[in-house]
Each structure stands twice: as C-alpha cells, then as structure tokens.
Chain A
Amino acid sequence: MSAPVDLHAQAAIAHWGWTIAWFLWFVGIAGMGSVAYVFVRRAALAYVIFGSLAVGIGLVTGHLSRWWNLPRVIFNMVVHGTTNWGSWMLIGTVLLTVHLFLALVPVLAHLECARRFRWLDWTRSLQTGTVYLGVFAGVGFMVTVYSGFLISDAAGIPLWNTALIPVLWVISSSVATIAVLELCHLFGGLDERVSHFSLRLGIGLDALKLFAVLAFLHVSLSVGSTGARLAATEMVSGRYALMTWLGVISVGILIPLALGLRTVWRGPRKPLLFVSAVSALTGALLLRAVVLLAGVFEPLA
C-alpha cells in the first residue's frame, strides 16, 4: 500500500512530543508511587512523588502555548463556570492539583527541618492514617489512569483511540515505580526486604507489560483504521522501529526481566540492580515518547 499524500504526524502539528512524554512519565511515577506509598512509607519515596508531580506539572504548564492567558482562563472558570467536565484535560488538572497537595503531606512529615515546627505535627499523624493513605493511593491511581485517557480520548489520532493505552500506562508506571523503589534501596532509602518483594513483583509486571505492548501493536496493525495501521507500522518497521524494539522492548522490558530473573536465582548484585532500574525507567519514558511521536492523523485522501 502506498502512503497517502496527506499523512501528517501529530507532533509536527499539535506538538505533543517529548515534553508531553516526560510529563506523562513523571505523573505516572508520581501516581503509582502514591499507591506504593501505602505499603512503603519512606521519606525517599515521598520526595520522589512530590518532585515528579511538581516537575510534571511544570512541564505541561510550560508546554501551553498561551500559558500567560491562564489567570484569565481560571478567572472565567471560577466566575463564569466556563468548564467542561467532559474533558479529560480538566479532570486531570483537578486531579493533579489535589494530588500535589496530598503529596506535600508526607514530604512535610518526613522532612527533618520541618519537625521544628509544632504546627506541622498534623502532617505526621495524617500521613500514617488509613483514610489519608487510601485517598492518596486512589488519587494517585486516578492520575495515572487520567494520563492514559488523555491520550486515548484524542479522536484525531487513531493509534491512540484504544482502551489499551490507560491499561498500558498503569502497567508501565507500576514498573517505573518499582524501579524507583530499587534505586531508593540502592542509595540506602529502603531496606532489603522491600526491595526483594518489589523485584519479584517487577518480574511479573515486566512480563505483563511485554504482553500489553505487543497486544497494542497487534490490535493497531490488524484491525486499526488506516491512520492507526500506518502509525503502528512506523513503530514496528518504520521511523520509530529502533525506539520500539531497542528502547521499549529490549532496554525497557527484556533487560529488567532478565536481570530480575537472574537476581531471583543467583541473588542480588547492586550494579545489576542499578542497570535494571535505569533500564525500566528509560523504557517507560520511551514507550510514551514512541506512542506520541508515531501518532498520525487519519489520512483523508
């Protein structure tokens, strides 16, 4: 099949490229990190969650081509109620704001210098409470889910219009969170017991992620519209094939999977754990980048 003449990459027109990929990566780590925080209430993880959210929100705000109009938009939103609750972008904006405030609580609770301030004692009691932890994990999970629906709801890019995207985002964000936990362990922020558990969980999630990525490509190639098929072809054998096979599959899934299995059989080695964690984090970023960059509009001719 010859390529239609009006084939346009969304990245060239809508400019949803690397900045949005980094944004999705950061909020994914913060989101699923909040779920992990229920089980692993360590300072290092709290700092990563808050830092990731802050950087992610900063990136997406900086990406707005009319960021200077935001005060006016917010004013109209509050005063005239000009909001569209059917938009995942608005739902996400609210979720991210709530999540940022929730993520500040454990940061303040863990900060040594904050202990001097008695009026912050409530943060220490709150961050161990079941209700807070449940809400924090729930909002975090919803933030990750939102980052998937944000993409899949964009009707112009057929590659993205699948329910597999939010599922894939949740799986890969979980893998990235486990990589963060491994790094925290390597740098002394977590004990070995947690690291062992997360390593085993990571192996299962890596296998699930491999299945989800291949299913996403298969569905797009076999039953997708022309636009979805052309974009998936770019990922499998075209411009972005190297990023897909080397970056997403090999570095992002196969290396952490192999190193995880080796660690289970032969015991942990810190350099290999480091390589595994960095590979998994790189793979999660490249997955978002390749899905965004490969997206094309449906050809009309």
Chain B
Amino acid sequence: MNTPPQRLVHLWDATQCIGCGACVMACTATNAPEMLFREETGWQSLASNIRRIESVNGQGRPELLLVQCQHCQRAPCVKTCPFGATRHDARGLVRLDPALCAGCKYCVTSCPYNVRWMHPDQGLPMKCMGAGCLELIGQGQPPACVQACPAMARDFGDRNDPRSSVSQTLRTRRTRRLLEHLGTEPNYFVVVGS
C-alpha cells in the first residue's frame, strides 16, 4: 500500500480524560443529531461513533476506554466491503460512501473494534468520521470530539507532519494501540503515561 501524503490520526489521552462523555455527545450532535434521544440497541447506549467502555480491572479499580473507528491502514472493513463503499481517502481516513452502500453489514462484522452501528432509518453502518466532522476538518477545524473535550484529552492531526501536536505527543508520551496483534495498523492512539 502506498503511504498517503497525510496520515490523520486520533489521539485519546486516558490519563487526562475525566469521563464526562462530552465527546460522545458532541459526536452524535454533529454527525447524527436525529439520534440524540435514541439508543443504539446493540450497545444499549447513545448512538454515537464513539463507544464508551467501562470496566473494572483485576485490582477492582474502575477503568474507562473510549473507542471509535481506528482508521486502520489495513482495515478489515475495506477488505470485505463488496462494492467499495468503504475505502481509504488520500489522508488515510477510512470513509463510507453512502451512494455505494447496499447495507449488507459485512463491515460491521468485519470490524474487530466493534465501532460501527446500524442507523435505524438510513440503514447505513455509521462510523467515525461522520459527515459533520468531515465538514469540520474540511474547514480546517478539529473534529467535534476534540473541540468538545474540556480536559484537552483528545487530539487529531497529521502524523506525517513532525510539527503537528499529535506527532509531538506520540514522540514524548507513552501510547498504545488497541488489538495491535491483529495487524490492522490502527491510527487511534491511547496515551497511557508520560
């Protein structure tokens, strides 16, 4: 695969996040406002492109994980989509073209991160980034989740640009990626320490 000129990545700082849920709400309000008062029946939570996972670790300590489309470089959903509706754009983002989607849901079962949800009215397998956020980044603004975060725990930018804030964070902080052993090469980084 050719390396794209840009490599847009998401970054979530688990050490800064206060778990307020502002990013989750902002995502729905920006990308699927009609779903603001409706539940995603599978996850039994707000229909959002960001999934909130709460758990308790081995020491009995509560843990929080925010997951969204990882914009994998070797995305299984791109590999399985029969009609090319899910594909990479020039910036490395995994995009969904509604015009090419027949709603087979193969991408939903192909995503190891379980971050796609079926829109009950449009029949689309929704994911980050939605149309609202794509418009925002087209205008040179950060996506809604980054703008809404009161704790500055979220960031978004070009990893190929060494001056970008995400590049600086990735250089200086300890990060991890989810299910890295699957070889999907995700572009969603979780900051776990200094």
Which residues from chain A sit less than 8 Å from chain B, CB to CB? 4-6, 8-10, 12-16, 63-67, 69-70, 72-73, 76-77, 82-84, 86-90, 93, 150, 153-157, 295, 297-298, 300-301
Known contacts A12-B41, A69-B101, A300-B179: A84-B112 contact under CB 8 Å: no
Give the shortest distance, in Å, between B42 (CB) and chain A (any CB): 3
A153 to B109, CA, bound (A): 9
Q: Which residues of B contact A14 (CB under 8 A)?
A: 42, 105, 108-109, 118
Cβ–Cβ contact B118 & A89, under 8 A: no
A256 to B111, CA, bound (A): 38
Cβ–Cβ contact A66 & B43, under 8 A: no
Q: Which residues of A contact B24 (CB under 8 A)?
A: none
Most buried by A among B56, B108, B118, B124: B108
Q: Which residues of A contact B98 (CB under 8 A)?
A: 69
Cβ–Cβ contact B110 & A13, under 8 A: no
Kindly state whether residue B82 has any CB partner on chain A within 8 Å: yes
Q: Which residues of B contact A84 (CB under 8 A)?
A: 78-84
Cβ–Cβ contact A155 & B82, under 8 A: no
Known contacts A69-B102, A73-B101, A86-B79: A300-B113 contact under CB 8 Å: yes
Cβ–Cβ contact B42 & A12, under 8 A: yes
Of all chain B residues, which has the CB nearest A295? B109
Q: Which residues of A contact B42 (CB under 8 A)?
A: 8-9, 12-14
Q: Which residues of B contact A70 (CB under 8 A)?
A: 102
| B contact residues, total (Cβ < 8 Å) | 46
Q: Which residues of B contact A82 (CB under 8 A)?
A: 83-85, 100
Cβ–Cβ contact A89 & B82, under 8 A: yes
Cβ–Cβ contact A64 & B53, under 8 A: no
Q: Which residues of B contact A13 (CB under 8 A)?
A: 42-43, 108, 114, 116-118
Of all chain B residues, which has the CB nearest A4? B55
Q: Please report which residues of chain B, range 83-139, place their CB below 8 angstroms from some CB of chain A when the two chains form the complex.
A: 83-85, 98-106, 108-114, 116-118, 122-124
Most buried by A among B105, B108, B109, B184: B109
Question: Could you jot down 9 A-B contacts, CB within 8 Å?
Answer: A8-B43, A66-B122, A73-B85, A84-B80, A87-B79, A153-B110, A300-B67, A301-B55, A301-B63
Of all chain A residues, which has the CB nearest B108? A14
Cβ–Cβ contact A301 & B53, under 8 A: yes
Give the shortest distance, in Å, between B117 (CB) and chain A (any CB): 7
